[in-house]
Amino acid sequence: MAKRNDFWVSAKILLRYKRQLAVAFVGVVISSGCFGAGLSLSLPILQLFFRDQQTLPQIVNHYLGDPSRPLWLQQFAANLVPYLPEDPFRGFALTMLVLGVLTLVGSAGRYLHEFFAITVAYRGAMIWRDRLFCRLIYAPVVHTLSFGAADYQSRIVVDCHVLVRSYQAILGRSVTQIAQGAAALGVAFIFSPALSLLAALGAPIIFILLNRFGRVIRRASRRALTEIGRLLGDLKESLGALPVVKAHSAEGYERRGFRRINKAVFREQMGMRRARALASPVVETVTAWGIFGIAVVAAWFVFRSKNPVNPEVLFATVGSLIAAGLSIKPLTTLHNDLKEADAAATRMLEVLRIPVEPIAPEIRNSHAALPRHHHDIRFQTVRFRYPARDHDAPAVDGVDLVVPFGQTTAIVGPNGSGKSTLLSLLPRLLEPQEGRIFIDGVDVATVNLRSLRGQIALVSQQSVIFSGTIADNIAYGRRHESRDRVIAAAQAAFADEFIRQLPLGYDTMLGEEGSGLSGGQRQRLCIARAILRDPAILILDEATSQIDADSEAKISQAIRHFRRGRTTFIIAHRLSTVIDADVILVMDRGRVVAQGTHTQLLESSPLYRNLAQNQLQASAV
């Protein structure tokens, strides 16, 4: 079974623009038709120069008015001949004028073709970028956590660029040149079918060579695109943490790491160089030798054959075959580009095979909405293991837990004990492989996902700030909220005081990742965003970790007031936060190993006692 060519699968998207493609095709027909017509005029030009008795009317009547020609062509010649000049010079000048007009019309056809071909190629790339982004934005979080975001970014940006370049190739100038080559071959067949058929016998050799070079290019291209994804990841990591890099004098370390990946990209790209460098010269050499051989055969017909052939016809035939042979050069480049694009298309189609969550537009979610939480939350023998870490122990291993409505539950434990993973299962950012989670007796796997997440607000350790105004960031995901409610949320998070000191206040534009704001200010904006959602369930994943000491008391007071009437989960490393909770869960190796109040756990749990004396106490200090 033949392997599917992913590039042509991806190119089906271009058929959405049939009208533009039809106009581009008309441009190709006009351009190649004018080129072929211009080549056909080479014969009368040769005969005007080398046959003194021949005039332009005689030449046209001889070739077009011959009884073997179609009747309509004979009639056309009969109507045209009376208007042609008898004088050889005037006939030659008229031929040049016709060539000039054909060139002008052909150029107009090429413009028409290029304009619409480029338009369709760019539209196709735009749709692919949109498709890939939508698939990734609706994909389960575990895919990004397991495989990294940089490679997916590379597929949207770099692979799409490779694809659009090939779309332009199959629709653009290469098509015009190949069409002109076909027109030249057609003219050669009209002049001399025997010589033209002889030239066509070399085509299989050329296609075998192109296919062999193409396989090498495709394999090397896919490896190179993968390495480029790693390169983008390293760039984002190093430049995003530039202050930390400099503070640790790690510029040399980062430079060496980048250089290793950069050299890997170079090696894979060099894997394509021999095939790319050899393809065009080899094919052109084979084509040239074929034309030289045909020229020798033509000369034999002129000089040695017992039935001499008109030399002007043979010269015109060889000239047309040379023009057809020149079209092989763009065909070689086009074939190589398509093989490189096939590798990019394969990587892009892999993204479309990633499953999506049931809130994606292409999935009709008929599950019932979850009523607002009011009773309890239960974890029933829940287990979760990250797909990329199958050899490791589960991140969450058989957790059984009941949390009454309105309770504040703090979760502590060593790094990697599964605290964040456990709480990520509640809004179904991750899906457990075993066990179930119930909210008020309803399995969260059976409810409308949007209604579930609409009741949950998450403030993570990382202060996630988006490009846009401060007001847009607070109202993120709730763009229809009034300015008064946005301001009220900011005041509740003690963010209003620093926002009003900015020149544009709530309309201040924030740069990438909230550049220009301190860590504590960014975190307060995230807390204001959570307050605005008015959630029934609040998850604070070390939410006060970036708050300065002066504002910690205010922020803690705001959270304490806000969590009233809500079920709250807190992952904390600060003793003050832990003591304030109703119940403390101690996790280790994915399991809940102890639970109770601060005083109870100090007496009953050696692990908690160790955490309180070291990790929690140190954080408090």
CATH number reported for the structural domain that contains residue 43 in this entry? 1.20.1560.10
Residue 446 DSSP label = G
Residue found under tokens 């019309």:
105
pTM over 0.85: no
pLDDT value for 563: 82
| Beta strand 456-459 pairing with 537-541 | parallel
Rounded CA gap, 351 and 159, in Å? Answer: 12
CA pseudo-torsion sign 422, 596, 530, 445: positive
Instruction: Establish if 324 belongs to a structural domain.
Output: yes
In terms of pLDDT, which residue wins out, 60 or 97?
97
In contact, 120 and 167? CB cutoff 8 Å = yes
Helix pair angle (88-137, 328-352), 10° resolution: 20
User: What whole-number percentage of the chain has pLDDT above 90?
Assistant: 11
Instruction: Establish if 207 belongs to a structural domain.
Output: yes
Q: Which residues, at least 6 apart from 75, have a Cβ–Cβ distance to it below 8 Å? A: none
Instruction: Establish if 378 belongs to a structural domain.
Output: no
In contact, 562 and 494? CB cutoff 8 Å = no
Rg (CA), the chain: 37
Q: Which helix (H) or strand (E) holds 305?
A: none
pLDDT surpassing 90 at residue 287: no
Return the bridge partners of 379, or none: 401, 437
Instruction: Establish if 139 belongs to a structural domain.
Output: yes
Instruction: Establish if 617 belongs to a structural domain.
Output: no
The pLDDT of 513-519, averaged and rounded, is 73
Residue found under tokens 């309105």:
406
Instruction: Name the amino acid, one letter, at 232.
Output: L
pLDDT surpassing 70 at residue 30: yes
- Domain count along the chain: 1
The pLDDT of 308-336, averaged and rounded, is 63
Q: Which helix (H) or strand (E) holds 384?
A: strand 376-384
| Burial class (CB within 10 angstroms; exposed 0-12, middle 13-18, buried 19+) of 295 | middle
- What is the domain range of residue 125? 8-352
Q: How confident is the model at residue 99 (pLDDT cuts 50, 70, 90)?
A: confident
Instruction: Establish if 274 belongs to a structural domain.
Output: yes
The pLDDT of 199-218, averaged and rounded, is 61
Q: How far is CA 513 from CA 230, 442, 464, 495, 507, in A?
A: 22, 37, 7, 17, 16
Question: Mean pLDDT over all residues of the chain?
Answer: 76
- Return the ∠ at Cα 262 (arms to 260 and 267), rounded to 5°: 95
Instruction: Establish if 240 belongs to a structural domain.
Output: yes
pLDDT surpassing 90 at residue 380: yes
The pLDDT of 72-86, averaged and rounded, is 72
Rounded CA gap, 489 and 506, in Å? Answer: 12
Rounded CA gap, 64 and 72, in Å? Answer: 10
Instruction: Establish if 557 belongs to a structural domain.
Output: no
Dihedral angle at the C-alpha atoms of 424, 427, 428, 430, nearest 10 degrees? -10
